[in-house]
């Protein structure tokens, strides 16, 4: 039996490694772009910046120190220069993918900060494994701008797991939908018509405003925004402001809201305020061919028929009146139940003529 040379004994004293093997090592040197490990092999192990982190231009000297112990995976036993090429990042990603697989199978809710805003959604990282959340699964409502989610910690579930095809899909929307359903159930169990609640304006459209009542949206229709007329809801409400609203109607999962509080009803004292014979000032709000509608107070419009505008013949109201004009007229008819008031300017003219006639007769008698 021949004796082994020193070099041969030294060679055999080192362990053997193979591509794909996981090894432990100690950091013996760190450079800005690579880490050198003693892995108990005849050659040192090298981890380049790209195989350690996804951060571009990261300085590894600020992330790893000499003496640290690390676990890495062998990419190449010989990188061409007699060194072993290792990867830390890919091994961590494999472990992360295993974590994601378990979460997917167990329907576990995960939490992580948003790492990147992409054109079609968000990217988050779980233990070095990336998860893509499409824009359609980010929220339970459409959101055009996702930039607000940058660095924000969000919860989600894994809805699709296929790492071989690089498809690991996260879903935040289903959590929000479930949460909203639970809040909706709780809210509907305690509210009833006539209740007053504080809400936050969530969206404003041409026909009304959607108010968030705490996880459930209610519609404040333009016709319920005021006892008076509202031309443009966007000039009245701003997204984010807090308003007190009254629940007008509940139908299945829909809530109709109102700002027409009973105590501010302008018709509450109509029998006294607009009694027949009362002379009132008002503003012409709109006109038709048959007459003009005069606003006596917000929410109270009266009809001034074309035949009651003047003793003289008037073909159409716009010949003698204009929108916004202040007028004085007499109440000639009132129907509180139907909220109808009829006015007359002619009646005042006739009364004025009668007064002047009586005054003239008195003077004649004195003479």
pLDDT at residue number 10: 47
Reduced 3-state DSSP string for 309-366? CCCCCCCCHHHCCCCCCEEEEEEEEEECCCCEEEEECHHHHHHHHHHHHHHHHHHHHH
Predicted confidence (pLDDT) at residue 216 exceeds the cutoff of 90: no
The pLDDT confidence band at residue 367, using thresholds 50, 70 and 90, is very low
Task: Say which range, 9-13, 52-56, 73-77, 287-291, has the weakest mean pLDDT.
Answer: 9-13
pLDDT of 111-143, one tens digit each? 999 999 998 999 998 887 889 999 999 998 888
pLDDT of 155-174, one tens digit each? 999 999 988 788 899 999 99
pLDDT at residue number 6: 53
Average of per-residue pLDDT values in the chain: 88
pLDDT, mean of residues 32-61: 90
How far is 227 from 260, CA to CA, in rounded Å?
6
Task: Say which range, 3-17, 30-44, 59-73, 122-136, has the weakest mean pLDDT.
Answer: 3-17
Which residue segments constitute the domains of the chain, with CATH numbers given? 6-87 (2.40.50.140), 92-176 (2.40.50.140), 192-263 (2.40.50.140), 270-351 (2.40.50.140)
Predicted confidence (pLDDT) at residue 154 exceeds the cutoff of 80: yes
Task: Say which range, 198-202, 229-233, 282-286, has the weakest mean pLDDT.
Answer: 229-233
The answer to whether the CB of 38 falls within 8 A of the CB of 69 is no
The pLDDT confidence band at residue 358, using thresholds 50, 70 and 90, is low
Q: If you ran DSSP here, which 8-state letter would residue 15 be given?
A: P
pLDDT at residue number 133: 96
Residue 57 buriedness (CB in 10 A; 0-12 / 13-18 / 19+): exposed
How far is 276 from 155, CA to CA, in rounded Å?
66
Residue 165 buriedness (CB in 10 A; 0-12 / 13-18 / 19+): exposed
pLDDT of 261-319, one tens digit each? 999 899 989 999 999 999 999 999 999 999 999 999 988 999 999 999 999 999 999 99
Predicted confidence (pLDDT) at residue 365 exceeds the cutoff of 60: no
pLDDT at residue number 364: 46
pLDDT, mean of residues 63-85: 87
pLDDT, mean of residues 340-353: 86
Residue 109 token pair: 């809710």
State percent of the chain over pLDDT 90.
63
Of 161-165, 173-177, 356-360, give the range with the top mean pLDDT. Answer: 173-177
Predicted confidence (pLDDT) at residue 54 exceeds the cutoff of 80: no
How far is 244 from 249, CA to CA, in rounded Å?
16
**H-run or E-run covering 218:** strand 217-221
Task: Say which range, 79-88, 95-104, 210-219, 285-294, has the weakest mean pLDDT.
Answer: 79-88
pLDDT at residue number 124: 94
The pLDDT confidence band at residue 228, using thresholds 50, 70 and 90, is confident
Radius of gyration in angstroms for the set of CA atoms belonging to the chain, rounded to a whole number: 40
**CA nearest 137: which of 149, 126, 128, 129?**
149
pLDDT at residue number 349: 86
User: What is the per-residue burial (b if ≥16 Cβ within 10 Å, else e) of 199-235?
Assistant: bebeebeeebbbbebeebbbbbebebbebeebeebee
- Give 360 or 209, the one with higher predicted confidence: 209
Q: What is the pTM of this model?
A: 0.56
């Amino acid at each position: 039996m021949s004796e082994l040379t020193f070099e041969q004994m030294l060679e055999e004293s080192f362990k053997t490694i193979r591509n794909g093997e996981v090894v432990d090592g100690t950091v013996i040197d760190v450079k800005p772009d690579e880490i050198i490990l003693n892995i108990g092999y005849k050659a040192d192990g090298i981890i380049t910046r790209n195989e350690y982190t996804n951060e571009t231009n990261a300085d590894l000297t600020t992330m790893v120190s000499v003496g640290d112990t690390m676990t890495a995976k062998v990419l190449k036993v010989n990188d061409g220069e007699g060194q072993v090429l290792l990867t830390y990042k890919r091994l961590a990603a494999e472990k992360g993918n295993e974590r994601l697989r378990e979460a997917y199978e167990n329907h576990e809710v995960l939490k992580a900060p948003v790492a990147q805003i992409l054109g079609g959604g968000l990217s988050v990282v779980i233990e070095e494994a990336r998860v893509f959340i499409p824009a359609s699964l980010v929220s339970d409502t459409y959101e055009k701008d996702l930039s607000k989610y940058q660095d924000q910690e969000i919860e989600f579930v894994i809805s699709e797991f296929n790492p071989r095809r690089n498809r690991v899909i996260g879903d935040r929307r289903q959590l929000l939908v479930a949460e909203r359903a639970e809040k909706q159930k709780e809210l509907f169990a305690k509210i009833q018509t006539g209740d007053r609640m504080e809400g936050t304006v969530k969206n404003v459209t041409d026909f009304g405003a959607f108010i968030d009542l705490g996880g459930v949206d209610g519609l404040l229709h333009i016709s319920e925004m005021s006892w008076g007329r509202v031309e443009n809801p966007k000039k009245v409400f701003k997204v984010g402001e807090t308003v007190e609203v009254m629940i007008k109607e509940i139908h299945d999962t829909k809530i109709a809201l109102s700002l027409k509080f009973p105590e501010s009803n302008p018709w509450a004292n109509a029998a006294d305020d607009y009694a027949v014979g009362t002379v009132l000032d008002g503003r012409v709000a709109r006109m038709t061919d048959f007459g003009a509608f005069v606003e006596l107070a917000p929410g109270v419009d009266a009809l001034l028929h074309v035949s009651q505008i003047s003793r003289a013949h008037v073909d159409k109201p716009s010949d003698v009146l204009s929108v916004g004009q202040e007028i004085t007229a007499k109440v000639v008819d009132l129907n509180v139940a139907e909220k109808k008031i009829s006015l007359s300017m002619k009646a005042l003219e006739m009364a004025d003529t009668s007064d002047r006639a009586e005054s003239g007769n008195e003077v004649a008698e004195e003479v």
